[in-house]
A and B are shown apart, each in its own frame.
Chain A
């Protein structure tokens, strides 16, 4: 069966009850309820091929989570069609639920008062995982995520990072082929983020699973996703290769120099726009086409101690995408 995702003209509106602040406002709203329609997702279409890892990016309130919830059947779309792994999500068929998982960094499925291993056992029964497969998967996940010492402790005594690891394990016990990750690394320290990323990558390769991931950490995206979909105000701003995103939106690189003696701003400006200057460090914006000639000139003419050319940070590129939309 096909693990792809097809979304056509998907939209979602919410009716939001508006209430004015203060006592008088509360009284008024008793008699006269004001509703405002919010267009959370506005006519978006995309296709994700089986086995792809796609980053789903956008600022808070862009419509990422709403889209994820529609893709997993939690929300009923106001318009458009969705097909996930050959199913219509909102029909909530048991066979569909067994093929997907949604990991929400902020909402836990683990049972709070008892060890995570108990949640695993409930999931084994609910997802009808055969005993030997269950043992094997728990063993693998325990190794990959280093869960050993965590599984015996009540969930409420786990740290945020430890809980997230158990959460991931609980969500993947049934070996879903379509994985939706909403902020899977939120609140984790750098090492843990790295471990979770490695794990997602390994899982994707091992089971050829399709992964759609939202994250505020660009490192998650650059490490995992070849392709990104950028969404804001419910619209898709960009859908394509991460590399081509950088090329189209930021057709420049950053030349970073460490100078051995001060150089005047007017001299530096001849080579390109100065992004940052704090002696001895300087960074200069250089058009992609001119990178080699400008680099040669910089090295030849200035007292350069160290020199690198880099792509602009992802955060800046994404910010450019949003800025371009509002312009």
Chain B
């Protein structure tokens, strides 16, 4: 365990150095990712100008999309694009020779960016708190704790989902198209286009058998106080099940994929 901790500490330091080397890019990525929720918010503000839509008036929409912006920035991953290049150019080999899993190298990068973006957003949140009540959420300790756990689960599940999708690159050269398809599906089924309670019943029912709601909609609903107390616990349970499933899928795909990769040549 201490070995893994040392490896993460070192890898995260190195990724931090790279982040600073590319601070311009880091900045643009951050604000680029804010555009989509803000544009969607603008649309909903126009629609809700006179009458609320369902439970959502303008005030609720603003809070909802600020939380979407917060959670989706923390859960964002870009591994498929990075891993596609490594597989295509054969530069994955040096990583496979090292006595530490390639996963740790990628995940430690993701963690650095999440911590950095998370810290920046929290600072902005604290500054904004006394200025506008649009950013106010319930500060009840239990709820905050549950929200943190839900976000950590969402981060892990989404990370593993996209890491597993990246591993499809071992089998097909069309991996990125599949990733784009899943992203598009997630746009609709995660609560990004509209709050989940405003979507048709069949979309709401999708949360029973797809992970998307649990990656974004659930933590956002939790933060905005839309989830009943019993539903919170069962929701965290569902997240835990998805996480366990994806951990299993990761090990399966990694071992099979490596064999496949090594059969066709690295």
A76 close to B266 (CB less than 8 A): no
Could you tell me the distance between the alpha carbons of A111 and B98 in the complex, rounded to whole angstroms? 14
Is A181's CB within 8 Å of the partner chain B?
no
B10 close to A125 (CB less than 8 A): yes
Return B19 CB to nearest CB of chain A, in Å.
10
A121: which B residues are within 8 A, CB to CB?
10, 13-14
Is A282's CB within 8 Å of the partner chain B?
no
Closest to A98 in B: B99
Taking a contact as CB atoms closer than 8 A, the residue among A74, A76, A90 that contacts B97 in the complex is A74
Taking a contact as CB atoms closer than 8 A, the residue among A15, A104, A119, A123 that contacts B264 in the complex is A15
Q: Which of A32-59 contact B (CB under 8 A)?
A: 40
A104 close to B10 (CB less than 8 A): no
Is A118's CB within 8 Å of the partner chain B?
yes
Majority SS at the chain A contact face: mixed
Is A102's CB within 8 Å of the partner chain B?
yes
B14 close to A113 (CB less than 8 A): no
Q: In the complex, which of the residues A66, A74, A75, A104 has the most CB atoms of chain B within 10 Å of its own CB atom?
A: A74
Closest to B20 in A: A114
A101: which B residues are within 8 A, CB to CB?
97
B17 close to A118 (CB less than 8 A): yes
Q: Which of A125-162 contact B (CB under 8 A)?
A: 125-128, 154
Q: Which of B85-107 contact A (CB under 8 A)?
A: 90-91, 93-100
A76-B259, A126-B98 are contacts. A111–B18 as well, Cβ < 8 Å? yes
A113 close to B9 (CB less than 8 A): no
B18 close to A122 (CB less than 8 A): no
Is A69's CB within 8 Å of the partner chain B?
yes
Is A109's CB within 8 Å of the partner chain B?
yes
A107-B93, A109-B94 are contacts. A94–B99 as well, Cβ < 8 Å? yes
Return A135 CB to nearest CB of chain B, in Å.
16
B14 close to A118 (CB less than 8 A): yes
Is A72's CB within 8 Å of the partner chain B?
yes
Is B54's CB within 8 Å of the partner chain A?
no
Return B153 CB to nearest CB of chain A, in Å.
28
Return B250 CB to nearest CB of chain A, in Å.
17
Q: Which of A62-105 contact B (CB under 8 A)?
A: 66, 69, 72-76, 90, 92, 94, 97-98, 100-102, 104
Is B6's CB within 8 Å of the partner chain A?
yes
Closest to A15 in B: B264
A126 close to B99 (CB less than 8 A): yes
Majority SS at the chain B contact face: helix
A14 close to B99 (CB less than 8 A): no
A125-B10, A128-B3 are contacts. A74–B93 as well, Cβ < 8 Å? yes
Closest to B17 in A: A114
A125 close to B7 (CB less than 8 A): yes
Could you tell me the distance between the alpha carbons of A74 and B90 in the complex, rounded to whole angstroms? 11
Could you tell me the distance between the alpha carbons of A125 and B263 in the complex, rounded to whole angstroms? 30
A76 close to B10 (CB less than 8 A): no
Q: Which of B1-51 contact A (CB under 8 A)?
A: 3, 6-7, 9-11, 13-14, 17-18, 21-22
Closest to A93 in B: B99
A113 close to B22 (CB less than 8 A): yes
A113-B18, A114-B17 are contacts. A108–B94 as well, Cβ < 8 Å? yes
Return B105 CB to nearest CB of chain A, in Å.
8
Is A124's CB within 8 Å of the partner chain B?
yes
A69 close to B266 (CB less than 8 A): yes
B residues contacting the other copy or chain, number (CB 8 A)? 28
Is B262's CB within 8 Å of the partner chain A?
yes
Could you tell me the distance between the alpha carbons of A154 and B22 in the complex, rounded to whole angstroms? 13
B97 close to A126 (CB less than 8 A): no
Closest to B21 in A: A113
Return B6 CB to nearest CB of chain A, in Å.
5
A97 close to B99 (CB less than 8 A): yes
Is B141's CB within 8 Å of the partner chain A?
no
A126 close to B100 (CB less than 8 A): yes
B130: which A residues are within 8 A, CB to CB?
none
A107 close to B90 (CB less than 8 A): yes
Could you tell me the distance between the alpha carbons of A111 and B16 in the complex, rounded to whole angstroms? 13
A114 close to B259 (CB less than 8 A): no
Closest to B6 in A: A125
B265 close to A66 (CB less than 8 A): yes
Closest to A121 in B: B10
Residue interface bits B40-72, CB-to-A below 8 A is 1, else 0: 000000000000000000000000000000000
Closest to B4 in A: A125
Could you tell me the distance between the alpha carbons of A239 and B3 in the complex, rounded to whole angstroms? 43
A40: which B residues are within 8 A, CB to CB?
265
A92: which B residues are within 8 A, CB to CB?
96
A75 close to B99 (CB less than 8 A): no
Residues of A that sit less than 8 Å from B by CB: 14-15, 40, 66, 69, 72-76, 90, 92, 94, 97-98, 100-102, 104, 107-109, 111, 113-114, 118-119, 121-128, 154
17 contacts between A and B (CB under 8 A): A14-B263, A14-B265, A69-B262, A69-B266, A94-B99, A101-B97, A102-B93, A102-B97, A107-B93, A109-B95, A109-B98, A114-B18, A121-B13, A122-B10, A125-B9, A126-B99, A127-B99
The 9 closest A-B pairs by CB, nearest first: A109-B94, A125-B10, A97-B99, A94-B99, A126-B100, A76-B262, A75-B262, A125-B7, A118-B14
List 7 additional contacts besides A92-B96, A109-B94, A126-B98; criterion CB under 8 Å.
Answer: A90-B262, A107-B90, A107-B94, A109-B95, A114-B14, A124-B10, A128-B3
